[in-house]
Amino acid sequence: MLTRKQHELVCFINDRLAETGVSPSFEEMKEALDLKSKSGVHRLISALEERQFIRRLPNRARALEVLRMPERPVDKKAAPKPAKAAPPQPANDVVEIPLHGRIAAGVPIEAFEGSTMLPVPAALLGQGEHYALEVAGDSMVEAGILDGDYALIKRQETARDGEIVVALIDGVEATLKYFRREGAMVRLDPANRAYDPQRYAPTQVQVQGRLSGILRTYN
């Protein structure tokens, strides 16, 4: 059984050897253990030698070898480490959200033609109210949104520049595009070089949701 200072010293010597390959000096050991004199270091080293935790290497100045290590004590004052969170489990839950017809990823067409329910893995949805729209067209292909995909939309009425949104134009036609502000206008950008951006007055555009995910089926 080692005293606290003996334990601290052998750990300090071992750590220094592992870090630099050279034993610490007596002055360094004195400062590390907050001792008043080097004589205290000599006594501790002699005690560790007697207990066969360290040995002095012959014909080499300040050369020490650690023969074995005591168990590191548990600091009772230290706050307990929080338990590691369990890794997330696959989300196999399925929820049903309204499917509001088709939406254009090209020329605006009418959305909200009807409402059935679409089963969706819960892992694809975040917080908030969601609905789905079937994508028609190819103007968003460079964003990975293909004709026949189901766009999962989080219902909201505001958008930030660069978000993909469902935008209702003049109250009757809806489209899926990147939302951007351009001066006093709203610009709806496609993700297909074959299509041009669409510009509208802010009063013409009503944001009805932001893209949250894509659901694709393979037949």
For range 83-100, the mean pLDDT: 64
CATH number at residue 126: 2.10.109.10
Active site residues: 139, 177
Range of the domain at 32: 4-66
Instruction: Assess if residue 85 is contained within a domain.
Output: no
Specify if 87 maps to a domain: no
- CATH of residue 33: 1.10.10.10
State the helix-helix crossing angle for 38-50 and 4-20, rounded to 10 degrees. Answer: 90
62 plus 119 within the same structural domain: no
Q: What is the rounded average pLDDT of the residues 81-104?
A: 65
Residue 81 lies in a domain: no
User: Into how many domains does the chain fold?
Assistant: 2
Q: Are residues 202 and 165 in the same domain?
A: yes
Please indicate, yes or no, if residue 177 is contained in any of the structural domains: yes
pLDDT one-digit tens code per residue, 20-30: 777 888 888 88
In a domain, 145, yes or no: yes
Q: In sequence order, what DSSP letters do the residues of 126-140 get, joined into one string?
A: -SS-EEEEEEESSTT
Residue 151 maps to a domain:
yes
Q: What is the pLDDT of residue 54?
A: 85
**Model confidence pLDDT, tens digit, residues 161-202:** 999 999 999 887 889 999 999 999 999 999 999 999 999 999
On whether residue 101 sits in a domain, the answer given is: yes
Alpha helices (H) in 108-198, listed in sequence order: none
Name beta bridge partners: 95. Answer: 120
CA-based R_g, the chain, Å: 35
What is residue 153's predicted lDDT score, i.e. its pLDDT?
A: 92
Summarised one tens digit per residue, pLDDT across range 34-76 is 888 888 888 888 888 888 888 887 665 567 888 888 775 545 4
Threshold 0.85, pTM exceeds: no
Can you give the pLDDT at residue 88? Answer: 45
Tell me which residue of 173, 170, 205 sits closest to 186, measured CA to CA: 205
| 43 and 103 share one domain | no
The β-bridge partners of 136 are 104
